[in-house]
Structures are given as C-alpha cells and as structure tokens.
Structure 1
C-alpha cells in the first residue's frame, strides 16, 4: 500500500484535499473512501490503493495538516533558538491548531478520534512536532540561550503542555480568565522551562 508514510506522490495531496473537504462537509464518520473517490472523480480502487481505510487516510491528512501548520509558523518566526522565540512560535502553533477548520470539525463531531493520541500513543504528527521542537532546542543550547539537557524529553514535555492549551483551554476560561490570559501564561511557562 502506498501512503504518505511511503511515498511523496503529488497526486495524493489532491486526494487529501478532497478528503479534507468531505470531512468538513460531512464529518469523519460519514466520510467514506468511496465518497472521496466520487468527489475526486477517480475510481474507488485509486483511493483504496493509496489508503486501505479511512483511518489510514485520516492519519495522513492530520499529519499533513498539523505538521504543515508548525512548519509554516517555524519558517515565519523571527527566532526559534531562544526561550522567548520558541515560546512565541509554540503559542502561534497552539492558536493555529485551535482555530484550524479540520481540527475544529473533528473535535465538534468526532472527538473520540483524538483520544488515542492523548491517552495511548504518539501519532506521526506528534512525533514530527517533537522533532521540530527538539531541533530548535538543540540550536538554542548550542548558542547557550537554552538550558542544557536532553532536547527530546524537553520537547515532549512542552508538547504535553501544549495539548492542554489546544484541546482544553476553553474549559478554563470564564469572566475572570480569558483565553488571552491563558495564552500569556503558556508563553511564560514555555519561556521559563527553557531558560538557562
């Protein structure tokens, strides 16, 4: 089977675009590989050759979506080798994920799809985000801007913290504490966690 895990076939991006639109229209549970094929105007076998089931397709779609967001923010960031720079980029990523149409739609209609990645295992998206963050931490450590230590557990810990700000931040807002207040605390927490 081919998938984003194995090949960089540019046609797959087009099919993932179609799948994304299906999920936005129908939700994940009502989206089928047959519907993706119909909307992409290709045979069902074309889609089935790329993905054996909707779970595999969704995994590739989420990886493309979430890692694409983080990569774009990293490219746009002024500096991701200092505690403050990493914290600002991390907050931008958290906000972009919270506001992402695909993420919002999945959480609204099919939140249980996210539970395995929060409770049982890391997904490819999480692994990729940890790798990006660990590389930034290592760059900052080389210049002395970031405290020494193994960058991978540091990046994983920061990613765990980000989960709450992506998935649960709105549960902690009310008349006394705004989302902006929480986001400011997140930046402080990340900055202080990385300072020498």
Structure 2
C-alpha cells in the first residue's frame, strides 16, 4: 500500500520517503542512515540536521504514515458505531500496508509492543480519547476515563494488526474485521 505517486518536494519529505522505501526493501532493523541519504539524494549531514539518528527518522516516518492512513479513513459520525467503523477500517488498511507490516517484523515493533508507547501510538490514543468523549456525551459509549478506554481500543486493534498472519487460517480478513467490530462495540457499549 506504500504509494510512490506523490513526488515529495521538501527535503524532509524526500528523506522520509527514502526511509520508507528502505524499510520495505530491507526491513527496519537493516535500514542505515547512509542508505536513506543516498536514496533521498542528500548528504548524511543534511539528514542529521533534521533527525539525530535512524530511530528518530523511523519515529517520524511511522507517525506521518499513521496520520496519512487516518486521513484516508475519515470519521463519518460522532457515535460509537462510526468510531468503531473507523478503527476497524484503519486496522484493515494497516494490516495490508507494506511499511507497517515490515515494521511489525522488526525489533522496533517489539519495543513499541512490549516496552513503551511510541509517538504514533500516543497520537492515536489522544485522537481516540477526544472522539470517545464526544460519543460518551451523546450516550453511545459507556462511562469511563476516555484516555483509558482509548488505550484499550488501541491495544485491541493493534493486536489484530500484529497477529493477522498467525490467525489467518481461522479468521480471514472479513472475519477478523467482523470480530474486531463485535469486540469494540461490546467493549464500548
């Protein structure tokens, strides 16, 4: 799903685009700053002026990529069902995304799945919490701390993304989306 159709004009965008192509081609764990610079057509000092290291580039890349996917799947209402539809659609897109799935097979994923929340995860939690507050006010989401509910929604959806390959013999794409929808609606009701 990694699109190369938009030609980046900004140097930072070129660097992130180059980093994305490296991740898809080599996997996150084998991406080097030198290769990113080469593919972006810039010097290593040019990259270092924007990011201190490869991990920082990966963080910016993932956050921007997640934001782009969210923009592709707009929220079509302010109730629980609209929110759940959006979460399921975003999870489905991310499960089919070359960049995200390459990251899922990396050491970096282990860090963000077991040790700490990353920038993109925190961004998702804050966005979900805001939307959950609105849905709580209109009565379609149960009471509770919106940030805590949002964190649990993230964990549930993230689990379907990271486990898609191992459960595919039991839950194909449609069944996985249906079960995720059921799980989230039940949890938030």
Q: TM-score band, normalised by the shorter chain?
A: 0.7 to 0.9
Where do 1:12-23 residues align within 5 Å? Answer: 12-23=12-23
Superposition deviation, residue 23 in structure 1:
2.1
Counterpart of 2:118 in structure 1 is 123
**C-alpha separation between the residues in 1 aligned to 2:172 and 2:28?**
31
Counterpart of 1:40 in structure 2 is 40
Superposition deviation, residue 132 in structure 1:
1.0
Counterpart of 1:4 in structure 2 is none
Where do 1:45-194 residues align within 5 Å? Answer: 45-73=45-73, 75=74, 77-79=75-77, 81-108=78-105, 111-174=106-169, 177-194=171-188
Tell me: CA distance 1:141–1:120, structure 2 relative to 1, closer, same or farther (3 Å). Answer: same
Runs (5+) with no aligned partner, structure 1: 1-9
Runs (5+) with no aligned partner, structure 2: 1-9
Superposition deviation, residue 190 in structure 1:
0.8
**C-alpha separation between the residues in 2 aligned to 1:190 and 1:107?**
22
Tell me: CA distance 1:71–1:191, structure 2 relative to 1, closer, same or farther (3 Å). Answer: same
Superposition deviation, residue 120 in structure 1:
0.9
TM-score (ref. length: structure 1) = 0.84
